[in-house]
Amino acid sequence: MPDDGLPAGAVARVLGVSVTTLRTWHQRYGLGPSLHRPGQHRRYTTEDVARLLTMTRLTGAGVPAAEAARVAAGGAAFGAAPPAEAARDGGGYAIPVGRADPAARGLARAAMRLDAATMRSVIMEAIGGRGVVPTWDAMLVPVLVGIGERQAATGRLIEVEHLLSRSVSEALAAVPRPTPGPVDRILLACADEEQHSLALEALSAALAERDQRCRLLGARVPRGALADAVRRVGPAAVVLWSQAEATANPDQLTATLAARPRPLVIAAAGPGWSAIDVPAGVERPASLTEALDLIVPLAQ
């Protein structure tokens, strides 16, 4: 580090947070720049940056900001009770995650800061340590649901959802894929007009962890396009995702059942199908784990 320290912008880039976050940590917790020379803005020393790295690591893992700051500053042992007046990160628009684990709370805080670098880091670390399905179930779903609840209640956080969704997609796409081969026996698609594809991206990444390939068509796949894909590819399994009842069209399932060659497994996945009568012969997996149990044996 230069002898004259680093300005806030450079430190923000090193940490992957915004300058606004640095300013907040300075004002609330005293984790600011300590190097001062007459006529110049204060700058961050090596020790200052080390404290901020600790702060970033702890908050990214879900530790409350006030407690993380006290640990970073060396003023308390990790786990000591935070002061009663500690401010809530995110204010009145904090993302509710219920009893989700600390990693979910850390991700929610990063999402509220629009801190894409930390979001990607937290998600990728969780995937590397736990695997795709546990990360999806225990961390990603609680935060995504919490954002949806806040949007419904306040009409806000659209920007938070978009940036988090992008970060989730990038982290899932980073899961190493198997070597390309001549046959991909699994076809994943969203229902016609269904724009939410993250769950299928998670399923694709979970298959990759098991060294299985698939074709992921993504969002808004019309009935005719799905039928054409089934006819041309001849998949052993088709998973059709619907997030909302408005996009759950059983006609797509009927058309897939009529395809030749007919897939061995056709699955209607997602909460959109919960109140829909699906055609006979269509499976209804209630989770990523159930979907994997259905299709992995067919991918061999």
Q: Domain boundary residue among 80, 109, 144?
A: 80
Task: Choose one of 50, 80, 110: the last residue of a domain.
Answer: 80
pLDDT (0 to 100) of residue 80: 42
Are both 162 and 200 inside the same structural domain? Answer: no
pLDDT digits (tens, 9 = 90+) for 212-268: 999 999 999 999 999 999 999 999 999 999 998 899 999 999 999 999 889 999 999
Q: Which of 80, 106, 126 is the last residue of a domain?
A: 80
Confidence of residue 3 (pLDDT cuts 50, 70, 90): low
Same domain, 143 and 193: no
- Cα–Cα distance for residue pair 110/271, rounded to 1 Å: 27
Whether residues 46 and 116 share a domain: the answer is no
Is residue 196 domain-shared with residue 293, that is, in the same domain? Answer: yes
CATH assignment of the domain containing 242: 3.40.50.280
- Could you tell me if 66 and 160 lie in one domain? no
Q: What is the pLDDT of residues 30-77, one digit of tens each?
A: 999 988 776 677 888 888 888 888 888 777 666 777 878 888 887 443
Residues 127 and 62 in one domain: no
Say if residue 107 is in the same domain as residue 59. no
Does a structural domain hold residue 45? yes
Q: Which domain holds residue 211?
A: 186-299
Residue 217 in any domain: the answer is yes
Shared domain check, 261 and 212? yes
Pairwise CA distance, residues 5 & 33, whole Å: 9
DSSP 8-class letter at 140:
I
Looking at the structure, do residues 290 and 194 belong to the same domain, yes or no? yes
Clarify whether residues 73 and 104 are in a common domain. no
| In contact, 124 and 138? CB cutoff 8 Å | no
CATH code of the domain containing 5: 1.10.1660.10
* pLDDT computed for residue 75 by the predictor: 46
Cα distance between residue 141 and residue 120, in whole Å: 15
pLDDT score for 62: 65
CATH of the domain at 107: 1.10.1240.10
Whether residues 124 and 54 share a domain: the answer is no
In the predicted model, what is the mean pLDDT of residues 162-188?
A: 90
**C-alpha–C-alpha distance, residues 104 and 98, integer Å:** 10
Is 261 found in the same domain as 192?
yes
How high does pLDDT run on average in the chain?
A: 86
pLDDT of residue 291: 96
Strands (E) across 10-94 are located at: none
Q: For residue 89, is it within any domain? A: no
- Residue 39: per-residue pLDDT: 62
Closest CA to 112 of 44, 164, 178: 164
Asked whether residue 56 is domain-assigned, the answer is yes
- Give the burial class of 168: count Cβ atoms within 10 A of its Cβ; 0-12 exposed, 13-18 middle, 19 or more buried: buried
Within a domain: 180: no
For the chain, percent of residues with pLDDT exceeding 90: 53
Between residues 262 and 19, the one the model is more confident about: 262
Question: Does 181 map to a domain?
Answer: no
- Is 86 inside any structural domain? no
If one counts the domains in the chain, the total is 3
Pair 208, 270: CB distance under 8 Å: no
CA distance 238 to 271: 17
